[in-house]
A and B are shown apart, each in its own frame.
Chain A
Amino acid sequence: MTVASSPPSRLPVRDIEGTQPKPRIREKRERDGGGRGDGALAALFIAPAMLGFLVFLLWPTLRGIYLSFTRFNLLTPAEWVGLDNYVRMVKDPIFWDSLTVTVEYVFINIGVQTVSALAIAVLLQRLTQSAILRGIVLTPYLMSNVVAGIVWLWMLDTQLGIGNEIIAGLGFDRIPFLADETWAIPTIALINVWRHVGYTALLLFAGLQAIPSDMYEAAKVDGASEWRMFWRITMPLLRPVLAVVLIMTVIGSFQVFDTVAVTTAGGPANATNVLQYYIYGAAFGRFQFGYASAMSVALLVVLSAITFVQYRLTRAGQTDLG
């Protein structure tokens, strides 16, 4: 009896042809507490993950909330100060600035990224099924944000960067992309689009693969154009997937840090002082761990609210899909 030779087609991972994995929900007999239990064994199997969960996820979350009500500099014990940090935060103009800058970043980043990823995904689906192209699209994702930041810092250098060489060659004025208050945030947003767009495109591409191809064929027989098929077939059927991808990317982009740290370090004149960078500075530059924690709580609240709203919108959107 060779169990290992069971058919590989059972693997839930999609093969190149894109056959749909069919999630099969287990029957009732496997539900909570039913039948004879494997309690001891389960405890053994879960122990390491549970340890990690409690120590490095649950406990720090609770501790972070606690620290936000204290004055704490790492050297002396945390001292309870009630809502002081929150009062300070609300009155801190730099906090509001950094929140504004972060929101600006998120809007540009998500806007450009979603539209480009969608374009790439649709092109990959309707134009060619080339696995090589899919691989190429993913390559920037292999780079760290640090590498991406440094490379674009060089390519967009005002004097020597190839970007400005081309701009100057076309007869325009050179643009100090990362050294100018207006340009810095859009530039950083686009650098991160470069790194992440391929991954997002592949997620959307996977969603597109789930749309039966005979729908397109039938539409084609009826004489529908690609443009019409995109709006009438692709978009409605992709919407649930698009919504999930959006939630993921929005939450990710609110936490921008690396690219800012290596390119502008928050400058010029706080123009790129995103929330996470400001939190980092408060904690490690000025050792105000309590204040930094309070701002983290604020970020957590913002992210939870966004997740909740997007989730509700997604649910609402799914009903009219038909």
Chain B
Amino acid sequence: MTAVTATTTKVRRTQRPRITPGKVVAWTVMAAMVLITLLPFYWILRTALSSNTALAAHPGDPLPVDLTTGGFERALGLQSTEEAIAQGGSGGGLKFWRYLINSTVVSTLITVFQILFSAMAAYAFARLRWRGRDTVFGLFLAGLMVPTIFTLLPNFVLIKQLGLVDSLLGISLPTMFMTPFAVFFMRQFFMNVPREVEEAALLDGAGKIRIFFRVMLPMASTPILTLGVLTYITSWNDYFWPLMVSYSDSSRVLTVALAIFRAQTPQSGYDWSGLMAATLIAALPMLVLFGFFARRIVSSISFTGIK
């Protein structure tokens, strides 16, 4: 028996490193895909560290040309208007820190409340007994079918009537309470928690509210983290809704600010170096967030998509 296992593993080991033409092709395709995926990131960095005048002279140089941090200074509003215009900027001000804070506030508000409220509802759908439960859940699920564009116009009208246009709350409100997806996602998890866990806590004299906050929520930390990061990325990257609702710096988020920065074209053509620096600053928080949670997210995306 042991001999058989030994030979099979031996056979496998000798088979593994065999290089076939097919494998070479497959790896080449894989390498090309990785290159296409990552090249833009390098090109952002390379451009951001170049000066606009040098970029025009050496467009194809693989390394930063005329290395400078001027682009970052312009994006962060650290240069005087004359200086910025001299270096190919528009001179238009950008309050990057303000937008960064706005984006953070909006994404945090949406993520925290959406997940808390969706988890609460999901718990009621999965573990509580009440009349009409399946009907209400069906109604929630049907909400998944409504395309976002459809609710955006009426929601804008509503937010305007509430007097919340151009406020961070106005940007956050529509997705702060729930999304059908988040409810569905959390419900899937709660359905799979073994009944005994809850019963044991009930025997210990805990009420259902206590069970939810002290037992169920902590147990759900992994799906909550996955859902949280995905929600954070989605709300951070959202552009259409904030574009509709915000008009001034007080509520402008990074995506909208970036699009405005891109639209402020100086006489000489785009300020590519400043634009790439701004792009990098806008994207960096998500890259850092992903850096922390990558392993978990990548392995649990399966759960979010296929049900």
Interface hits, B268-307 → A, CB 8 Å: 270, 272, 275-276, 279, 282-283, 286-287, 289-290, 294-295, 297-303, 305-306
Question: Knowing A6-B194, A53-B143 touch, does A39 contact B38 (C-beta < 8 A)?
Answer: no
- Contact status A48-B150, CB under 8 Å: no
State how many angstroms separate the Cβ of B100 from the closest Cβ of chain A: 14
Interface residues in A, total, Cβ within 8 A: 124
- Contact status B153-A289, CB under 8 Å: yes
Question: Knowing A63-B154, A140-B37, A143-B237 touch, does A131 contact B272 (C-beta < 8 A)?
Answer: no
* Cβ-based interface call for A316 (8 A): no
* Cβ-based interface call for B129 (8 A): yes
- Contact status B158-A32, CB under 8 Å: no
* Cβ-based interface call for B95 (8 A): no
* Cβ-based interface call for B49 (8 A): no
Q: Which residue of A lies closest to B240 (CB)?
A: A257
Interface hits, A134-153 → B, CB 8 Å: 134-148, 150-153
CA distance A158 to B239 in the complex (A): 26
Contact with B along A288-322 (1 / 0, CB 8 A): 01001100110110011001000000000000000
* Cβ-based interface call for A245 (8 A): yes
| B56: A residues at CB distance < 8 A | 160
Q: Which residue of A lies closest to B301 (CB)?
A: A202
- Contact status B129-A154, CB under 8 Å: no
CA distance A126 to B29 in the complex (A): 13
Contact with A along B229-255 (1 / 0, CB 8 A): 000010011111001100000000001
- Contact status A150-B129, CB under 8 Å: no
State how many angstroms separate the Cβ of B271 from the closest Cβ of chain A: 11
Name the one of A41, A42, A299 contacting B150, with C-beta atoms under 8 angstroms: A299
* 9 more A-B residue pairs beyond the given contacts A194-B37, A262-B258, A276-B149, with a C-beta to C-beta distance below 8 A: A13-B226, A33-B129, A38-B124, A48-B177, A55-B158, A56-B177, A162-B60, A255-B147, A293-B154
Sample (13) of A-B pairs whose CB atoms are under 8 Å apart: A3-B201, A10-B194, A35-B129, A39-B130, A45-B120, A56-B158, A60-B155, A63-B154, A135-B295, A142-B289, A157-B272, A257-B149, A283-B156
